[in-house]
Structure 1
């Protein structure tokens, strides 16, 4: 399988290489691709050194699969060019997610919507992925009416510049700012840009993407997204109102039986998900599972995942694995 990794020099690209190796993805030829300023750089994969190439050269090589993690503008310009060359693109940016002609996929939930004709496939937002991994099995059983989610998002979701800002602030060294305010010892209710409706773009991703993934517009999602001074891992406080009542033990069992989900929920032993322990793992961790005593048929839970792995790289590689397994590429 000829594979191109577009955005190979970025934070997600680095994790993508790690995940491809860990999962033994079938690669006969690997192309590491980046913007012109990174062309010529050397990167290592499985002990072998590769030279980073440009986008035009990668398109001309006609890879079977191109996994993009290079930002929306790059995806909008170059994903169609790869697709026209016969390459199947798995795109990690927001560029194609809400395009009605493009599939938005979390493999454990809706990989079966994919066909050989899908040449550009969208990877959902990191916060959306972990949210729907927890919601999907419960929605199937109890039917969601409304979801209220508040996120506590790592600086790694912004990128390397934000990670450096936090590291500099911790040691008291001045440096370049990724955010309009300090992030150390702070919380910024500002993920991505503000929109005319007063929400941020991140919050609207959380509102819209779950409906598309679950192919159901009968429930609503409202979100508040907050950046906190953790270096890796996103956390979410999730309040879900269902049409039907539920049993808490059954909820835990349903989640435990869901591939890719791990329940960590024992108040007696202070067992609950935390981003520090989700680091470098592919599972979505769910805990603090309890009934909302102020509203009928309503559940509270706490959902945590590594935003660079299941929230980005791992999910994209899983999509590629499905394409290979089903002979769609």
Structure 2
């Protein structure tokens, strides 16, 4: 392939990988993480809508990739597509890519609850990846679900969780670059006495210096779809018998989702026992000191791969209760990193280079 057309990565052996939605927040992060983790790529193609064709995105320090048109791209010969273009776009292109023999790892909501599509967090249910062959599509869960189930998995294995109540404090980056711009412009405008409504397009209310208890659309029972996602995705990934009640809010933070999680377990649980279990679990860093600065906030987790757990303590309102605080970079572990980790397991255990 010609360098100007192909966006070829300078690797000798490996897989042909397409990144769909390459100009968005998550797509750019996918390219960064592929390079950081030295994923075995032979070629990388950056794909997006026709309006982004010809734009350049970086792959590592040395490669600059020219964006190609998703609508006309032929996926024949592509091994893996890491996809984050929006649910409607995925619904149209993913089956086409899969029919060409490409395995699509999709970050949108479209395929998550399809019974024939595995929904995967590698630290929690990597064995589910084996079911990719039915549709050649693997779904990446919702960002807030991912960090929660990473923390819940070792606790469920040790103490068997019966019920979860979670309240989320989700950053604006989860709603895309335009949402980040809205927070920035509203904040700047308020300091020079401009109305926040002059910069209000993405969110239903002012986001600067505010908290909005509303993410995604409202459903008939009063929950938002984000809250519904956290419940049904946890059941599909971890255990269908766990009862989950979620409360999701958007906060004026640029990057990093925070969650307060309260669990009720079948087996007796203490904060000390839970701390020990979590300290030995993959993908988790416990920072839990009962002192000033003895916990992690979104500022500290930005750019990091781990799910950070803090504020472990007994919930004495139930027989076997525990509460904790967890934070993670929603663009990394909550999206791009999780997708790349799925690709790593897929390549290692199921595909031939």
State the TM-score bracket (shorter-chain normalisation).
over 0.9
- Contact 1:62–1:82 (CA<8 Å) still a contact in 2? no
Q: In 2, distance between residues paired with 1:269 and 1:244?
A: 32
Match of 2:88 in 1: 73
Per-residue deviation, 1:2: 0.3
Displaced runs of 4+ in structure 1, greater than 4 A? none
Q: What pairs up with 1:189-268 in 2 under 5 angstroms?
A: 189-214=213-238, 216-268=239-291
Q: Does 1:42 align with 2:56?
A: yes
More displaced stretch, 60-69 vs 218-227: 60-69
Q: Please tell me whether the aligned partners of residues 282 and 305 of structure 1 are also in contact (alpha carbons under 8 angstroms).
A: yes
Paired position in structure 1 for 2:328:
305
- In structure 2, the partner of 1:117 is 133
Larger deviation: 60-69 or 89-98?
60-69
Considering only aligned residues, what root-mean-square deviation do their CA atoms show, in Å?
Answer: 1.3
Q: Is the 8 A contact 2:97 2:104 kept in 1?
A: yes
Secondary structure class of the residue paired with 1:178:
coil
Task: Give the aligned partner of residue 96 of structure 1.
Answer: 111
CA contact (8 A) 1:4 1:58 kept: no
Tell me the equivalent position of 2:7. Answer: none
CA deviation string 1:274-321 (max 9, x = no partner): 000000001000011000122110101001000000000000000001
TM-score normalised by L of structure 1:
0.97
Q: Which moved more, 1:133-142 or 1:116-125?
A: 116-125
Residue number among 59, 64, 75 corresponding to 2:79 in the alignment: 64
User: Is contact 2:83–2:106 with CA below 8 Å preserved after alignment?
Assistant: yes
Deviates more, 1:47-56 or 1:173-182: 173-182
Q: Which residue pairs with 1:19 in the alignment?
A: 33
Structure 1 match to 2:123: 108
Aligned length: 328
Q: Distance in 2 between matches of 1:27 and 1:270?
A: 41
Paired with 1:199 and 1:18, the residues of 2 have a C-alpha distance of 35
| Equivalence for 1:31 | 45
Name the CA distance, whole Å, in 1 between partners of 2:85 and 2:26.
Answer: 9
Please, what TM-score do these two structures have when normalized by structure 2?
Answer: 0.90
SS in 2 for 1:231: coil
Aligned partners of 2:76 and 2:101 also within 8 Å: no
Q: Give the distance between the partners of 1:323 and 1:272, measured in 2 at CA.
A: 34
Find the counterpart in structure 2 of residue 280 from structure 1. 303
> Mind listing any 5+ residue stretches in structure 1 that lack a counterpart?
none
SS of the residue aligned with 1:90?
A: strand
1:234-271 deviation per Cα after TM superposition (whole angstroms, max 9, x unaligned): 00010101111113212101101011000010013431
